[in-house]
Amino acid sequence: MITVFSVDPPVAWSLMTEHKILARGRVPIRKGTEAAWTARWIDVINAHSPDIVGIEGVHLRTYGDDEPYVRTAKQRGAIVLARRAGIIEGLCRVLRPGVPIEIVDTGDWRETSGFKEKWGRVRLKDAAIALVKQLYGLNVTHDEADAILIG
């Protein structure tokens, strides 16, 4: 049976098989605690030996109907998120050499789950939580739900 370690950057992770969640969790980050956050990710990665790693890809979006200052803020946030996703990927590559790593596009895993991007962020998050509850009987945060569905 194949085990998948899946990550919804920068905080949520899941270890699972096709039918069972073996472990899941969150690695919260607070301002000024990047070293502690990185150390906690090292602990999580070292605690599990998956057959494959899946990390949600982060994309810089340059379109939208938002005011220019809102678009700029979102783009800056995406850059920070991409950096943290890269840290997690790097840690996985160093700590689990030889384990394949797949960058999973958000649209791909959502489409596979039956979700439509046009629903909007709030509805998508609620749908992810509901689907994980339906499939696995778990009450999880939206970040953990995303990590599970990425897997």
- DSSP letter string, 130-143: HHHHHHH-----HH
The pTM (predicted TM-score) of the whole model is 0.87
Q: Who's near 35: CB < 8 A, 6+ residues apart? A: none
Q: Which neighbouring-strand residues pair with 21? A: 16
Instruction: Give the separation between CA 137 and CA 24, rounded to whole angstroms.
Output: 14
pLDDT tens per residue, range 7-54: 999 999 999 998 899 999 999 887 777 889 999 999 999 999 999 999
pLDDT tens per residue, range 50-79: 999 999 998 766 656 667 656 666 677 788
Instruction: Give the separation between CA 140 and CA 146, rounded to whole angstroms.
Output: 10
